[in-house]
C-alpha cells in the first residue's frame, strides 16, 4: 500500500474538511506560467478536468470567481451578458490575492478570505472527477464535481470558448 501523501493543510483543505468533502491531494512541481497544461501533464489527468479558479471583476469592480476547464478560456463577453453588466475583466494580481487570501497560481475557491459569487462552467459538473487548486501553488485536490454544489453556492454558466 502506498504511503499517504504529505500535503499542506491550507485554508482550502480546512474548508473541505469542515464541510466533510472527500478529496484526494495531488502535489506537483509548480512552474511560473505552467498553468493547467503543466499540472495535467505532471499528474496524468486530462487538462479538461483540471479546473482553473479565476478572479474577475465587473466594470463596477464587483469581484467574482469563475471556475473553468483548463483547456478552455472564459468568453468575457458572454459572461458579461449572463451577468447583465457591460464588461468583465481579470482582477489585477494584488486585488485577486487580497480578496482570495491566496497567491495567484494557488487560488482555491474553497475558504477564500472574502466570500465571492462563484460561477462554474456547466460542463464541469458533468465530469466524473475534477482537479482544482487546494490553496497553494503546486497543490491540487481531486473531488467529485457534485461536491462543488454541496459546499459552495455556485451558479452554472455557459461561457467557455476554445483555449489559446
pLDDT tens string 14-38: 999 999 999 999 999 998 888 999 9
| pLDDT reading at 58 higher than 70 | yes
- CA quadruple 96, 98, 104, 107: dihedral sign: negative
- Alpha-helix residue ranges (DSSP H) falling in 8-163: 11-18, 35-43, 76-83, 93-100, 146-151
Residue 11 CA, chain-centre distance (Å), reads 14
Confidence at residue 33, expressed as pLDDT on a 0 to 100 scale: 84
- CA quadruple 155, 12, 145, 150: dihedral sign: negative
pLDDT tier at 141, thresholds 50, 70, 90? very high
- Distance separating alpha carbons of residues 60 and 18, to the nearest angstrom: 33
Residue 124 DSSP one-character state: G
pLDDT tier at 5, thresholds 50, 70, 90? confident
Where are the domains positioned within the chain?
A: 26-162
- The neighbouring-strand residues paired with 164 are none
What's the topology of domain 26-162? YbaK protein (3.90.960)
Confidence at residue 1, expressed as pLDDT on a 0 to 100 scale: 52
Farthest-apart Cα atoms in the chain, separation: 54
Amino acid at each position: 500500500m502506498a504511503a499517504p501523501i504529505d500535503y499542506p493543510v491550507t485554508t482550502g483543505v480546512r474548508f473541505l474538511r469542515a464541510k466533510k468533502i472527500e478529496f484526494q491531494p495531488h502535489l506537483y512541481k509548480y512552474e511560473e506560467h505552467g498553468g493547467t497544461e503543466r499540472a495535467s501533464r505532471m499528474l496524468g489527468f486530462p487538462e479538461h478536468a483540471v479546473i482553473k479558479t479565476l478572479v474577475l471583476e465587473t466594470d463596477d469592480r464587483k469581484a467574482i470567481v469563475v471556475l473553468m476547464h483548463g483547456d478552455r478560456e472564459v468568453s468575457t463577453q458572454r459572461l458579461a451578458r449572463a451577468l447583465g453588466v457591460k464588461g468583465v475583466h481579470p482582477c489585477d494580481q494584488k486585488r485577486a490575492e487580497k480578496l482570495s487570501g491566496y497567491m495567484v497560481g494557488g487560488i482555491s475557491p474553497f475558504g477564500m478570505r472574502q466570500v465571492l459569487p462563484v460561477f462554474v462552467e456547466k460542463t464541469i459538473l458533468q465530469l466524473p472527477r475534477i482537479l482544482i487548486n487546494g490553496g497553494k501553488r503546486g497543490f491540487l485536490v481531486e473531488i467529485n464535481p457534485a461536491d462543488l454544489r454541496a459546499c459552495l453556492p455556485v451558479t452554472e454558466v455557459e461561457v467557455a470558448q476554445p483555449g489559446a
